[in-house]
Amino acid sequence: MDNRPIGFFDSGLGGLTAVPYLMQALPKERIVYFGDTARTPYGSKAVQTIRSFSYQITDFLASKDVKMIVVPCNTVSSTCLEDLRARHPQIPILGIISPAARYVAENCTPENKVGIIGTKVTIASGAYYKKILKFNPRLDIYGTPCPAFVPLIEEGIIQNEIMDLTIQYYLDHFIGYNRIDTLVLGCTHYPLIRRNITKLYPDLTIVDPSEQVLTSIMDTLSATESFAEEPQGEHIFYASDLSENFLNMINRIFQSSEFAIAFKNLELEGLK
Ligand code: DGL
């Protein structure tokens, strides 16, 4: 038993899409979330920059005495997870690529054509490609970056034709030419346009890695016998810039879900 909170770290607000899964499955756990909204997006930055930002934030979460750090950010997970683990060897640090890759490897066959979409950095890293093939070398994997999705989502341009046209711009040829039937949303923002993608390509099977990371959290809590025993007070959401977009996104993600009440009293603090 361990009543300390679970740390979450994302380059911005996208990682919030992973939070409801945890709150629903493990209501006794308390979350300390950090979104680096002042410096997002990470997805087109140099790896050294991403690494140094990630060091600062994991140091900050470690100072909050978290029992585990979850990094739903695909860009960070695909580039510097091992560096973060080496810096904080006493804290389990979970990324998002491995659990999602394992899920794809176990649920797809050589007949499937698997597409990965993500930021430029995530796709260039080849992290999904390598991990999936490590678990199942017989699969056919393709990847393409979709850099315009994140800024549009952050501006709330979602349920309209600009977003639909942007999706078609990136995916029509990618899906058609490669005959993709399974699409991995390899960026924390993309679950917010899942409905648009499903509407445009209704036959696709969509994999949301935010769902798979929950399995890995549960496995780690179980292996270390560190589930919380009592509900532990408020979740805390830190942001390096408390922008209007961040607050709007919190509303967008949580008002449509059963967690609206839990979030009315959330405590937001800027990182000093
Ligand atoms: N959170 C990032 C990811 O999952 C996307 C946003 C960014 O580029 O910072 O890759």
Does 258 or 215 have the greater pLDDT score? 215
Share of the chain above pLDDT 70, in %: 93
Does 37 have pLDDT greater than 70? Answer: yes
Give the closest residue (by CA) to ligand 1 atom 7: 41
Does 264 have pLDDT greater than 80? Answer: no
Confidence at residue 258, expressed as pLDDT on a 0 to 100 scale: 54
Please give the distance, rounded to the nearest whole angstrom, from the Cα atom of residue 14 to the centre of ligand 1: 7
Confidence at residue 270, expressed as pLDDT on a 0 to 100 scale: 59
Is residue 187 part of the annotated active site? The answer reads yes
Does 206 have pLDDT greater than 50? Answer: yes
Does 262 have pLDDT greater than 60? Answer: no
Q: Please give the CATH architecture assigned to the domain spanning 97-209.
A: 3-Layer(aba) Sandwich (3.40)
Strand order in the sheet with 93-94: 93-94, 68-70, 6-10, 31-35, 236-239, 267-270
- Helical H segments across the chain, by residue range: 19-25, 47-63, 74-87, 97-107, 120-125, 127-135, 149-154, 161-178, 194-200, 209-223, 244-255
Report pLDDT digits (tens) over 103-145.
999 999 999 999 999 999 999 999 999 999 999 999 999 999 9
Please name the helix (run of DSSP H) or strand (run of DSSP E) that holds residue 238, with its range, or none. strand 236-239
For the chain, give every domain's residue range.
6-96+211-265, 97-209
Q: Would you say the CATH fold of 97-209 matches that of 6-96+211-265?
A: yes
* Burial classification of residue 54, based on how many CB atoms lie within 10 Å of its CB (0-12 exposed, 13-18 middle, 19 or more buried): buried
**Domain 6-96+211-265 part of CATH 3.40.50.1860:** yes
The model carries a pTM of 0.92
* Burial classification of residue 129, based on how many CB atoms lie within 10 Å of its CB (0-12 exposed, 13-18 middle, 19 or more buried): middle
Confidence at residue 237, expressed as pLDDT on a 0 to 100 scale: 84
Confidence at residue 269, expressed as pLDDT on a 0 to 100 scale: 63
77-91: average pLDDT: 97
Share of the chain above pLDDT 90, in %: 72
Does 242 or 201 have the greater pLDDT score? 201
Is residue 80 part of the annotated active site? The answer reads no
Confidence at residue 232, expressed as pLDDT on a 0 to 100 scale: 65
Does 249 have pLDDT greater than 80? Answer: no
**Contact partners, residue 177, CB within 8 Å, separation at least 6:** none
- Token pair of 137, please? 């070398």
For 149, phi and psi rounded to 5 degrees? -65, -45
Confidence at residue 195, expressed as pLDDT on a 0 to 100 scale: 95
Report, in angstroms and rounded to the nearest whole number, the Rg of the chain calculated over CA atoms.
18
Atom of ligand 1 nearest to the CA of 187: 4
Confidence at residue 248, expressed as pLDDT on a 0 to 100 scale: 77
| pLDDT confidence band for 172 (50 / 70 / 90) | very high
Confidence at residue 259, expressed as pLDDT on a 0 to 100 scale: 54
Whole-angstrom Cα distance, residue 118 to residue 240?
Answer: 23
189-215: average pLDDT: 94
- Ligand 1 pocket: which residues have CB below 6 Å? 10-12, 14, 40-43, 73-75, 118-119, 122, 150, 187-189
Does 251 have pLDDT greater than 80? Answer: no
Give the closest residue (by CA) to ligand 1 atom 2: 73
The residue type of 267 is E
| pLDDT confidence band for 88 (50 / 70 / 90) | very high
Given the residues 73, 80, 108, 146, the one annotated as active site: 73
- Of the given ranges (61-65, 167-171, 174-178, 243-247), which has the lowest mean pLDDT? 243-247
Please answer whether residues 250 and 237 qualify as being in contact, where contact means their C-beta atoms are separated by less than 8 angstroms. yes
Give the closest residue (by CA) to ligand 1 atom 6: 41
Confidence at residue 261, expressed as pLDDT on a 0 to 100 scale: 44
Give the closest residue (by CA) to ligand 1 atom 1: 73
